[in-house]
Structures are given as C-alpha cells and as structure tokens.
Amino acid sequence: MFSSKHFELSDIPDLSGKVAIVTGSNTGIGKVCAIQLAKKNCQVIVPSRSEDKGLAAVADIKAITGNEKVEFIKLDLLSLQSVKAFAEEFKSKHDKLHILINNAGIMLAPYSLSEDGLESHFATNHVAHYYLTMQLLPTLISSGPSRIVNVSSFGHNFTLVSSRSLDNINDEKGYSRMIQYGFTKAYNILFTRELTRRLEANKINNIYVNCNHPGVVSSELSRHAFDQQSWFSKFYNNHVAIPTEKGALTQLYLATSPEVESKNIKGEYYVPYAEPGCANAFSKSDKNALDLWNYTEQLLKEKVPDYKGAIF
C-alpha cells in the first residue's frame, strides 16, 4: 500500500526562528508532529480543548525534546467563539506564524451538533479549521514563506457512494457516520485547492497550501465507534495500522521539507510516504471547491456576527 520512504523524520530541517500551530496535538499523529517540530527548534503551539490534556502534552513534548518554546492555548473546534478566542490569544502573543497544520479531526461519531448548530464532523473537520485559517492568513502571509497542511484522508472516497451534499450536510436525516467523515475529508481537499487558487489569483506566492492522507495509523481516532480497550481495537492498532511516527511523515514533509518550495508544490494531495496522491473526482472538482468556499463564507457570516469574510 505504501511506497518506499523518500522522507524521514531526520530529513526535517532546522526550524530555529519558526513558529508552528498543530491542531489536535495533545495526542495521536498531531502530537508526533509537535514533537518532531520541537526537536528541530521550532516554537510550537499545542491547541487543545482540554487544559489538562494540553498541558500534559506540552510537558511531555518539552521533556522529550528539551525545547522550552512549547505552549498550550485552549481551542475547542466545536465552538466558533473558541476558535476566535484562540486566534486572538495567539496573535496577541505572536506576530509570526510559519506552519499551520490543520490536523485535529473526529471520525465515526454519532450524530450531534456543535455549539453553533453544525453537525460535529462538519464543524470540527471543516468549518472550524476554515475559520481558524482565515483568521491566521494575514499572519501566515506576512511571515512567508509559510505552509498550511490540511490533514485529509483516503476516506474522502466515501463521497463516491452517497448523494449527501452541502444542502443536507447538517441534517440528522440520512446521516451515516462513515459518509459524513468522508465528505468532511473531501472538503479538506477542496478547501486546499480553492485557497491555493485564490492565493495564486491574488499573486500571493509565499504560502504553500497542501493536504494529505497520513495512512492507516494507530491512534485514538476510532474512539467514537470502538472501545479502545477491546480486542478489535488493540489488534487493529497493533497489527494493522502503522505507528504515529510513520503516520506523521507525510504531513511533516509538506510542513517542513525544502522540496515543497523548490518544487513549488501547491494545492496538492499527498499520501504515505510523502508522495503525490490521487484525490477522487468529487474532491478535484473546481465547482465543488468554489461552492464549498461560498457556502462556508456565508455560514460564518451567519454564525459569527463580526466575521468580515475572507481577505479575497
């Protein structure tokens, strides 16, 4: 399933002077990303909805790497007000941002709504990360060259077997956990492509926006569907899935490798290990990308009264 590795953790360059945010870095693939960035002297922000989990992860990362520039800031992606507060706190403390890894996600969760009345996969995996990115974009531009990595999934292919659409994405009627996950992961690809198109159209050339499938990785991602202590989860995590260190490679490549700039890699979907992948037709449709952008902009204007809209 995976090609041979042309990028290793040891290939991450020195990141002294760089600032990174990795959402979902209190555990799983995101935590490995935060550790590896910190090892290379990057200043890393660890957002978490739980202060206990966030501070514990920060303590771990500092102990493992010896890098003291690792910081927790509270972020609950199920609340647009929390996203706003996170961005404001970050900007009050930092005037530079070089790497944004939109990694946090949920999968196979039972139907529920966010604080803003959005279905929870849609809210977490797409809308909150879109809003976060829009608020941080001016800082990413002024800090350029900078990187944005949107963590998608092979699961974006579940869009092939459903007619769910933006018209009913928040509805309980017709809800399927797997399909919903798939659509939100396709949205990660569409967002990557439309953001890249707009940056290029506005001659903003110093941001490299890409997305990836990390692989089938041993983590807590299936926690909403399976008891993590069950024999099935243990067998799956120990014998089927790859370890998080390998799962983090592709997004770390897109976030740090000098090759991304030398090869001008933008708007692409990468797969393990750090190789160009092939997204499905739904996720490559320019119309779908534009529709998603316009839908999300309209939604944010309704849900966040002082949202001024994307900069372009």
Ligand X SMILES: NC(=O)c1ccc[n+]([C@@H]2O[C@H](COP(=O)([O-])OP(=O)(O)OC[C@H]3O[C@@H](n4cnc5c(N)ncnc54)[C@H](OP(=O)(O)O)[C@@H]3O)[C@@H](O)[C@H]2O)c1
Per CB under 6 A, residues contacting ligand X are: 24, 26-30, 48-50, 53, 75-78, 103-107, 124, 151, 153, 213-214, 216-217, 219-221, 241
Structure tokens at 68: 């003291």
| Nearest approach, Cβ of residue 218 and ligand X (Å) | 7
Which is closer to ligand X, CB of 144 or CB of 277? 277
Nearer to ligand X, 150 or 288 (CB): 150
Residue whose entry in the numeric block shows the structure tokens 């569409």: 190
Cβ proximity to ligand X, 144 vs 243, nearer residue: 243
Q: Which is the catalytic residue, given 130, 131, 175, 181?
A: 181
Cβ-based nearer residue to ligand X, 44 or 78: 78
Is the CB of residue 43 less than 8 Å from the CB of residue 20? yes
Note if 181 is an active site residue: yes
The sign of the torsion formed by the CA atoms of 216, 218, 219, 225 equals: positive
| Residue facing ligand X at closest CB distance | 28
Q: How far is the CB of 229 from ligand X (least distance, A)?
A: 15
User: How far is 209 from 151, CA to CA, in rounded Å?
Assistant: 11
Taking the C-alpha atoms of residue 38 and residue 44, their distance in angstroms, rounded to an integer, is 6
Closest distance of CB 221 from ligand X, Å: 4
For Cα atoms 124, 128, 131, give the angle at the middle one, nearest 5 degrees.
165
Alpha-carbon separation of residue 253 from 72, 131, 218 (angstroms): 24, 24, 19
Amino acid letter at 194?
Answer: E
- Closer to ligand X at the Cβ: 47 or 143? 47
Phi, psi of 239 (to 5 degrees): -120, -20
Buried b / exposed e along 33-52 (16+ C-beta atoms within 10 A): bbbbbbbbbbbbbbbbbeee
In the three-class reduction of DSSP (H, G, I as helix; E, B as strand; rest coil), residue 106 is classed as coil
User: CB of 92 within 8 A of CB of 86?
Assistant: no
- Name the residue among 109, 105, 104 with its Cα closest to residue 226: 109
Q: How far is the CB of 204 from ligand X (least distance, A)?
A: 26
The residue (of 26 and 67) whose beta carbon lies closer to ligand X is: 26
Residue with tokens 């990557």: 192
Q: Which residues are catalytic?
A: 181
